[in-house]
Structure 1
Amino acid sequence: MAVKVNPEECIGCTACVSACPFGAIVMEDGKALITDACTACGACIDVCPVGAIHREVEEKNVSMNKDEFKGVWVYIEQVGGQARNVGYELLNEGRKLADAMGQELAGILIGDNVDQLTKEVFARGADTIYLVEGKEFSHYSTDAYTITLTDLIHTYKPAVILMGATNDGRDLGPRVAGRVGTGLTADCTNLGIDPATGLVAWTRPAFGGNIMATILCPDHRPQMGTIRPNVFKRSAPDYSRTGEIIRVDSKVKMTDIRTKLLEIIREGVASANLEEAEIIVSGGRGLSKPESFALIEELAEVLGGAVGASRAVVDAGWKPALYQVGQTGKTVGPKVYFACGISGAIQHVAGMSSSDIVIAINKDPEAPIFKIANYGIVGDVMEVIPALIDEIKKVKTAG
């Protein structure tokens, strides 16, 4: 979509020049001319007294037969033969979408010797599994997985594809969408069916989280989106469920893979599995200094949990971004979440509100975090945490 000036109607009043917030309009031969700096914001359209400026809508490519595309697919991300939780979370939500659309739910498994995961995928709600195996999939690579998922889409034509907004999902999703000529809504926090159109309604934060945008994909298929981990809950598995396994031969050649994995370096393990952790201990600016994070790490260790941090801590340089929990960090949903010295800003709460139990420790009794906490301790974290650690150690010693 572009903004254009009709030179025959333009009277050269320059009202649009001063109204443009990007300086994208200049006067040439007494007429307004829109330059390449235009962002199509439309400010000039509103101020033009003679209606000489208008939006020029590009013709849409509607040659695609959308009726050919059927079914809801969930990409089951796995590492070393172990499925990530987000795949099972999306199977639960995908089941709801598929039922609402009157279509089947399929799981997509790509990897090396991953057929042992099929039973769990069926138990979590899939009707069908598309299984592609090969040594070339032993570790995730952009080329191999993009070629394979693109080929599956061209062959079987799904209507909807759900993927986790993980590091791999954020890499794979946009590449596949570009290859098949469709759109992709990234980092969704909610899904539904638009009642007016029957399309999937993808909801995600926009403008720094200040608004929630709902996005539709009416003209292209499949409808694709990546969804943040821990936004949805996993359903209880039903191991009596079975379905059809469609084994698909890999079309990837080793020469197609332009990168070579040299080494895997395990770093920041305590935070790397935040999305998978059942217990998370997070620290905020209430710890006063970075050295105090040793207490957070010790409490996480005795509980067998992972370490998290608020955005304020990351911005202050106390912890790397890998540890950040919140709207601009990682979305988590553990069984127990400790918020230590964290005030409870809405951006942080958005990343951990799906936790089963929230335990807050803060010396400010009016801190917003207490409004969502199941248990609250009003006190100095530097005094409360050591006492907790001692008690937990006593309980563990006593068996």
Structure 2
Amino acid sequence: MKNAIPFTPYQKLVIVLLTLTQFSVVLDFMIMSPLGDMLMKSLDINTQQFGLVVSAYAFSAGTSGLLTAGFADRFDRKKLFVFFYGGFIIGTLCCAISTTYPMLVAARIVTGLFGGVIGSISMAIVTDLFPIEQRGRVMGFTQMGFGASQVLGIPIGLYLANFWGWEAPFFLVVGIAVVLMFLIWTGMQPITAHLAFQRKKNALEHLWHTIKKGHYRAGFAATALFSIGGFMMMPFGSAFAINNLHVTQQQLPLLFMVSGIASLVVMPLVGKLSDKTDRLQLAIIFTFFMMIMVAVYTHLTPYPLPVIIMLNVLMMICLIGRMIPSMALITGVPEMQDRGAFMSVNSSLQQIAGGIAAAVAGMIVVQETKTSPLKHYDTVGWVIIGVSMICILLLARVSSIVKEKAKNAAPVMPKVDVIPEM
């Protein structure tokens, strides 16, 4: 195994800020699920309308990624990050003060337009400030935002909503985000090294220049397909647990909380392992075990709660764990001058693919009544397994691209931003 390169104090600060930012953005998305029943009753909306509220975020986030890709490499990444994070805060605040269904849909669209770009800018910052030998660990820490949102998002969201109404969780996200905005503005250094590589192209030319590169498209395809697994299963995870596995509404927060805690513990370990071993091999191992767990879980019948929790935890660890070495590998594809555009397109396709996956899963899964078991959830599992096999082939292509790029790298690299010691 390779020896891991230690982080500088400033790098550690950046990791903390990016992880907390990821937590706030994912929390905003995660709290929609447990608030579903309360929102439908408070705003007098039906299940189809609530589905639109959820999907509005994903599709607007995907659209935003494409719209911003052309100029994502033309500005200081810190300023771009602050701008879109500020828009995310405004969108989330609009969600909290919405009083009608159209207002809530509009607020979710605004939140998606800004929040959907934050992940891609974060990835560009990671690729600028961290060599590829460190990125697995960075991905492991930033993915903790997802696990933390499961641990805190559902229980705290329900707790606050029960006491102060469904608006309270959104106000919580706004409060967290405002504090983080101040810390980012005062603690993060300007990130401008990529500006020295810019060519005189307008936004559309830069976008087309990024999309037309064949090796970039391999990374895009791998990211889009890797996102399908989670997005196909998540929309119906609660309904399957309650109606098929006989988990009660009171037990459901515990199921999500334990999965989230397991993610918090395991993800940094996977990230560290990703920096010490071959990332392709690690991703294949996690994908293989994920396919087994998906097949088992989607065919599951009622069992004691501890068994269901254990299987859910194993499946979630595999679903998220395969993403860490995969995304760390994919960040090695773009050149410095294209990183912002590449990550924007990458994030956009991930969101759009997720929205399509959720819609396809909705066409596959059938529930005759509101309390009857879900049918064809096992078919969703088989689709995920088939797509995962294609993902392995695409990731193998990405791995060969990254290795070839490293082999052909010039011996003298351009000077980049010096990471200050703090």
> TM-score normalised to the size of structure 2?
0.24
> TM-score normalised to the size of structure 1?
0.25
User: Which of the two has greater strand per residue?
Assistant: 1
When Rg is computed on C-alpha atoms for both structures, the one with the higher figure is 1
User: Which of the two has greater helix per residue?
Assistant: 2
